Structure 1
Amino acid sequence: MEELISISLGEKAPEIVIKNGTVFNVFTKKLEKVDVGIHKGYITSYGDSIKVNQNTRIIDANGLILVPGFIDGHIHYEVTKLSITMFAKLVLKYGTTAIISGLDETYSVLGKRGIEETINEVNSIPFTLFWGVPSKLPYTIPSSTLAYELGYDQASELLNKNYSWGIWETVAEFITNKDTDVMRSIILANNLHKPIFGCLPLANNSKINAACLAGVRLDHESYSPEEMYEKARRGMYVMIRESSVTHFLKKNIAIIKEFGIPTDRVGFCTDDVYAKDVIVHGHIDKVVRMAIEEGIAPEDAYRMASYNVSNMYMIDSIVGSISPGKLANIIFLEDFTKVKIKGVMSKGILVSWNGNYIYKFNPPTRPEFMLTTFKNARKISENDITVKAKGEKAKVLAIEVNDENPFRRKGKIFEVKTVSGEVLADPEKDLLYAVVVERHKGTGKVGTAFVTGFGLKEGAMASSSAPDDNNIVSVGTNKADIVKAVNYIIENNGGMSLVKNGEIILSLPLPIGGIISDQEPEKMAEIENKFDKITKEMGSKLSSAISTMTFLPITAIPDYALTDKGLVDCIKLKIISPVLA
């Protein structure tokens, strides 16, 4: 601290001075011609005549505009299937220098040790992660099976850690049901002056009132501008989400353009992204570009991608602006309106220039516990996928999926003939099997149901990356291929698989916790595209059938989901039979 103050006073020279650039000041919303001094990763000086010496590195930013590094306001980074080091490599050159994440997928399979390993890893690279303690795990109601659960006893310890910044994903039902663990965690977080991050999809006004009363400071999960407006007018900060899966910006930007909510109450997030999309379209830079195209002033769009997010999460003393005392997270722009990035600096390290990385990303050696998470997994047989019914005919409820909103799953009723008292999949009617196989505690539980909308005419697919419980989820046209796909994942300690006629035709290893890998982002994107291409050849009309499948266990969003416990009615919050009559 003393050294940094000496530099800011001009008594000593900083390691780096950025000269001749134009800085976007998020406080004045003006472009200012100033120099920036940087030392040991922090901005020390802002203005003219910054002291230099023979060791000072000068970066000439003539003709460039400097804006604060982008912050993704809510992301499950594990959905990329990349380790945090390789995720940073995916997004840094697009200007994202910090993220807010709950690491809930990591905790569900690796527990507290997995969180600490991830935080130590991210602290060793030029990237910043602000971790929120999950409100409770599992999120699923009724509870699914995880390797590690999180209640108040665990949350109270973690909230007191200096590496936690609040409570993540405070699901509306935990508040309205007055869940004891969550209530106690909220009280503790309030006492520690750490914010509550909400998860309030499709919430009515009563639920929003209750969440505000519980202290929820912000929310990222709005499905319409009207819903978002009701949250904002009750005092919540809100985030516009634009992900690989759900595309809400063009619709929800109306909260500013039509409903008149001030831009400083709004931030940006992605929630879930895939390497294949980031490499083509960008990350938060894409969201800023879209907002500007929708008529938001560039000055406001850049604030929504940086300062606004830092303010709502109460981390604005660390990130969100180019000002003394903040991390030197800086984007060098060639074009302010088109968001054309020349280079990126993170934690005072120039990581990329002209779209190429200068910094070398080297993932750490992984401890054994992170690579052996299938010790309790039990292989399945075709008998585990049996759905019995009485009579010659049956009415079956299938979970219906679509590309428009993969999270919002309705139900569709099929009338089918039974075979020897069993309901079988019928690919011609787009009625497929779906299973979730418990792999954490050796319970042997297999949740079985039916799905429609996938369109597969043959084969099966499976994945152990499957938020939020990360058991093995599989969808297929026949039992034999599902068994092959699931058991292959168990045999290989995690991953994704695609099966046709009893043969593995494509696979993706996910050795770290069964959910992520140290794969290069470009290679990950290549494999993701192969899965999409082949599943379309197998009949699917979805843009990404395997990605849609991985979200089947999420119960926080109506109407139906599937966990290892069975088919879940997400409105009544109970397990139901897929056979109605």
Structure 2
Amino acid sequence: MKASSLASMISSLNSVAMGKSKADVVLKNCRLVNVFSREIIPQIHVAIKKDRIAYVGKDASHTVGEKTGVIDLQDRYITPGFVDSHVHIDQYVLPSELAKKSLLSGTTALFADPIDIVSVCGYRGFKEFVKMTQRLPIRVYHVIPGGLPVDRKFSHARTLTKKEELKGLDIENVVGLGEVFSWTKVTTRDPNTMKSISNVLETNGIINGHTAGASDKKLNAYIASGIFSCHEPIDYDQVLERLRLGMWVMMREGSIRRDLDKILPSTLSHKTYLDRLMFCTDGVNPKDIVDYGMIDHCIRKSISIGMDPIDAITIASRNSFEYYGMSKDLGAIAPGKLADILVFDDLEKIKPNKVFVGGKLMVDNNSLVVDTPRTIIPDWMRKTVKTGIKFGEKDFVIPCKENIAQALIIKLDTEIITKMDQEELQVIDGNVVTSYDKDVWKVAAIDRTYGTGKKSVAFLRNFGADVGAFGCTQSFHENDMIIVGSNEKDMAFVANTLTKMQGGMLVAKNGNILSKFSLPLAGLISSLSFEKTLDEYASIDSKLIETGCKFKNPHLIPLFLPFLALPEIRILYTGVVDVKNRRYLKILNR
């Protein structure tokens, strides 16, 4: 959403405040949740000129003219719009569809890190994705992905050159560098990483952090390098260590992790300062948006733990904009600010009755009253799944000349965490086969970005579903096509079908599709409405759980299998990687 500059508005705002000219909109009889003074002020009137606030006080009658729209809020509460301080919106749902759910929840601003769009589509994709969000009725700010490549030795994701990073920083609503999650690159002063950080600091951009596992001198070195936030602390001790060193902490409550329960009780009991705390989701899947919400859920959760509602609302609004250096324009209801205002019947349910963005009514009586522009997806972004070959059963054979093979196994500890394991497996007709009794599957990683036809095939334990194969074109942050299968024929079928679909998730058995989730935008995002996307998304997990998968969120398994930032063992199309020791591993002990 395009915003006016304060500089261009000072004369007209001044004039309205003095009663010399008239407001466009006046909200009267409000109970103002003041995030500066930590109080709720009754009988407040707010006068708005264009997209900014001109007056906040007890009597705005001097700002009302014949053409002024006056809305009597009848003693309802008003708060600033909520902010998701760190979120990945290049997953599952079109930005235009996400905007609708954001508005209904009171989230009027998103700080997005489109790392996976970049890993598939490079700088061209980054520019196009930013463009997709510029006309939306919410505020979307972007960062240049700071996490690519995850590990230069193994990663094959597309990245931005230093020149492209600098060009990207000049794009409207691009505010800095996204999470630098390979923190060892910082503590070892990797030249490419340090150059990116230096370039952003020289442009006064913000840099988001990712410090999971860092402490003491490593954490100090990271912060001293100009990275002042982190969304990875999972308990109070980690939060406190970062706050003591001057960091801002984004408390995460999203689909991958929910950390408020372990952070807030001690934060409140110790009366820790809250002014450097923010809320973030780090990404919310369609089902969780419906079941929980977005930043509104963070506020409700915080209040249920014992936080004062005013403090929770302040964390959800003012704090984020202060961190991002935008407090001149956003984060509060005060003269000069952009008029992003939420209206509530009460401060318990945290469900907005009305939502204004830039003084324009977007939600009224809990319903959208604004159209979101149709997303135009360039044809080239619908043709990103390039496997290079048509797959057959032989492509998933693991050859062996013995009768029994001692095989390396990727053991699923959770949907996300893996462990290294070993197993004896049978060899049939020169092919090491899966084992239903031992719950050992084949897993393949396939290059679907460059069209080389390259792949690797290994073994996976603990998947558990009674299906032929499960495949996905989305994975963090390499975006290999991942296929988990009980037999080679279904693995080939799924790989070929996903290529034909140009992206998505697929469950199949005996050459029949059991469940399908189409993701044609870069192989990452649905082109359907939110409701239809939710149906397809939910069908994948439902089918896998119904057929015996051991995990609550099986769709996460292929997303994380190539993720080089987590232990212990990962698979890429170039091979199986021991993450800690940074080496490729042999699949069979010959």
Fold similarity call, TM over 0.5: yes
How many residues get paired? 577
| Equivalent residues of 1:145, 1:438 under 8 A apart | no
| Equivalent residues of 1:169, 1:198 under 8 A apart | yes
| Equivalent residues of 1:396, 1:579 under 8 A apart | yes
| Structure 1 residues 395 and 266: alpha-carbon distance in aligned structure 2, compared to 1, 3 A threshold | farther
Among residues 410, 424, 438, which one is paired with 2:447 in the alignment? 438
| Structure 1 residues 421 and 296: alpha-carbon distance in aligned structure 2, compared to 1, 3 A threshold | farther
User: Greater shift after overlay, 287-296 or 325-334?
Assistant: 325-334
- Cross-structure match for 1:482: 491
State the AA in 2 paired with 1:245: I
The runs of 5 or more residues in structure 2 that have no matched partner are: 1-7
Among residues 491, 501, 508, which one is paired with 1:499 in the alignment? 508
Describe the superposition over 1:311-358 as per-residue Cα deviations: whole angstroms up to 9, x where unpaired: 222222232212233332222112213323322222322222333211
Larger radius of gyration: 2
| Equivalent residues of 1:350, 1:358 under 8 A apart | yes
3-state SS of paired residue (1:63): strand
Among residues 335, 340, 344, which one is paired with 1:324 in the alignment? 335
- Cross-structure match for 1:298: 309
- Cross-structure match for 2:76: 64
User: Greater shift after overlay, 347-356 or 389-398?
Assistant: 389-398
| Structure 1 residues 366 and 226: alpha-carbon distance in aligned structure 2, compared to 1, 3 A threshold | same
Q: 1: distance between equivalents of 2:444 and 2:16? A: 61
Describe the superposition over 1:9-39 as per-residue Cα deviations: whole angstroms up to 9, x where unpaired: 4322222211111111111111123212223
- Cross-structure match for 1:115: 126
Give the alignment of 1:380-419 within 5 angstroms: 380-388=391-399, 391-401=402-412, 406-419=415-428
User: Greater shift after overlay, 375-384 or 533-542?
Assistant: 375-384
Matched, 1:167 2:209: no
- Runs of 4+ in structure 1 displaced over 6 angstroms? none
- Cross-structure match for 2:534: 525
User: Greater shift after overlay, 308-317 or 381-390?
Assistant: 381-390
Matched, 1:76 2:85: no
3-state SS of paired residue (1:139): coil
Matched, 1:374 2:355: no
Q: 2: distance between equivalents of 1:372 and 1:155? A: 25
Q: 2: distance between equivalents of 1:416 and 1:227? A: 43
| Equivalent residues of 2:468, 2:485 under 8 A apart | yes
3-state SS of paired residue (1:216): coil
Q: 1: distance between equivalents of 2:407 and 2:187? A: 31
| Equivalent residues of 2:89, 2:113 under 8 A apart | no
- Cross-structure match for 2:268: 257
User: Greater shift after overlay, 279-288 or 323-332?
Assistant: 323-332
| Equivalent residues of 2:514, 2:543 under 8 A apart | no
Q: 2: distance between equivalents of 1:197 and 1:323? A: 28
Q: 1: distance between equivalents of 2:389 and 2:411? A: 28
| Structure 1 residues 167 and 580: alpha-carbon distance in aligned structure 2, compared to 1, 3 A threshold | farther
- Cross-structure match for 1:127: 138
Q: 1: distance between equivalents of 2:90 and 2:135? A: 18
Q: 2: distance between equivalents of 1:386 and 1:274? A: 34
- Cross-structure match for 1:281: 292
3-state SS of paired residue (2:437): helix
Matched, 1:454 2:466: no
Q: 2: distance between equivalents of 1:237 and 1:369? A: 39
Q: 1: distance between equivalents of 2:49 and 2:379? A: 37
Among residues 551, 571, 579, which one is paired with 1:570 in the alignment? 579
| Equivalent residues of 2:24, 2:67 under 8 A apart | yes
Q: 2: distance between equivalents of 1:229 and 1:573? A: 31
Q: 1: distance between equivalents of 2:198 and 2:500? A: 44
Q: 1: distance between equivalents of 2:448 and 2:300? A: 42
Q: 2: distance between equivalents of 1:347 and 1:362? A: 17
How far the C-alpha of 1:269 sits from its partner, in A, is 0.8
- Cross-structure match for 1:20: 29
TM score, norm. by length of structure 2 = 0.92
Among residues 39, 48, 58, which one is paired with 2:49 in the alignment? 39
Q: 2: distance between equivalents of 1:348 and 1:451? A: 54
| Equivalent residues of 2:12, 2:49 under 8 A apart | no
Matched, 1:362 2:359: no
| Structure 1 residues 57 and 204: alpha-carbon distance in aligned structure 2, compared to 1, 3 A threshold | same
TM score, norm. by length of structure 1 = 0.93
| Structure 1 residues 394 and 225: alpha-carbon distance in aligned structure 2, compared to 1, 3 A threshold | farther
Q: 2: distance between equivalents of 1:402 and 1:56? A: 61
The runs of 5 or more residues in structure 1 that have no matched partner are: none
- Cross-structure match for 2:249: 238
How far the C-alpha of 1:93 sits from its partner, in A, is 0.3
- Cross-structure match for 1:154: 164
Query: Identity percentage over the alignment?
Result: 29
| Equivalent residues of 2:115, 2:147 under 8 A apart | no
Describe the superposition over 1:433-484 as per-residue Cα deviations: whole angstroms up to 9, x where unpaired: 2222111112222133322232112221212222212231222222221211
How far the C-alpha of 1:420 sits from its partner, in A, is 4.8
State the AA in 2 paired with 1:542: F
Matched, 1:539 2:548: yes
How far the C-alpha of 1:203 sits from its partner, in A, is 2.2
| Structure 1 residues 318 and 563: alpha-carbon distance in aligned structure 2, compared to 1, 3 A threshold | farther
| Equivalent residues of 1:203, 1:227 under 8 A apart | no
Describe the superposition over 1:516-556 as per-residue Cα deviations: whole angstroms up to 9, x where unpaired: 13321122112222212111122113222123322222211
How far the C-alpha of 1:133 sits from its partner, in A, is 1.0
| Equivalent residues of 1:175, 1:182 under 8 A apart | yes
3-state SS of paired residue (1:498): strand
User: Greater shift after overlay, 134-143 or 167-176?
Assistant: 134-143
State the AA in 2 paired with 1:20: N
Q: 2: distance between equivalents of 1:286 and 1:136? A: 27
Q: 1: distance between equivalents of 2:303 and 2:244? A: 24
| Structure 1 residues 434 and 375: alpha-carbon distance in aligned structure 2, compared to 1, 3 A threshold | closer
3-state SS of paired residue (1:545): coil
| Equivalent residues of 1:18, 1:60 under 8 A apart | yes
Q: 1: distance between equivalents of 2:519 and 2:276? A: 38
Q: 2: distance between equivalents of 1:165 and 1:257? A: 31
- Cross-structure match for 1:52: 64
Q: 1: distance between equivalents of 2:188 and 2:528? A: 41
| Structure 1 residues 422 and 332: alpha-carbon distance in aligned structure 2, compared to 1, 3 A threshold | same
| Equivalent residues of 1:86, 1:363 under 8 A apart | no
